[in-house]
Amino acid sequence: MAGIMKPVSTILMSAVLIAAVAEAEISCGTVLNHISVCIPYVTNKGPIGKCCDGVKTLNEAAKTTPDRQAVCGCLKNMATAYPGIDYDKTAGLPKECGVDVPYIISPDIDCSKVK
């Protein structure tokens, strides 16, 4: 549990900055709440479980361009802040969960181009 606190703290600090810049209604805290159940799956430490529930809920909530850009930024920061992420699995999550996301979840995405 202690090993997860540093990455979570980094993500939450990034969340404050991204949310302020993007002026979105969705915060990184919200993103983390929905996506944290995916961490075992994308780090090859567990099954997909309830991950798709979070992915679907988050996708449905991100209706505006600022919201989609904010979610993208949060996911990007999570992908770079959490050790051991399997980027093929993160990129495949939308398809695996049956949702259409207008970008690939990776540390290289330019979230300002997400519409």
Total number of domains in the chain = 1
What confidence tens digit (pLDDT) does each residue in 18-66 have? Answer: 444 446 689 999 999 999 999 999 999 999 999 999 999 999 999 899 9
Residue carrying structure tokens 């992908």: 79
- Domain hosting residue 39, numbered range: 2-113
Reported pTM: 0.73
Contact, 68 vs 107, CB < 8 A? no
CATH number at residue 103: 1.10.110.10
Residues 95 and 99: their CA atoms lie apart, in Å, by: 6
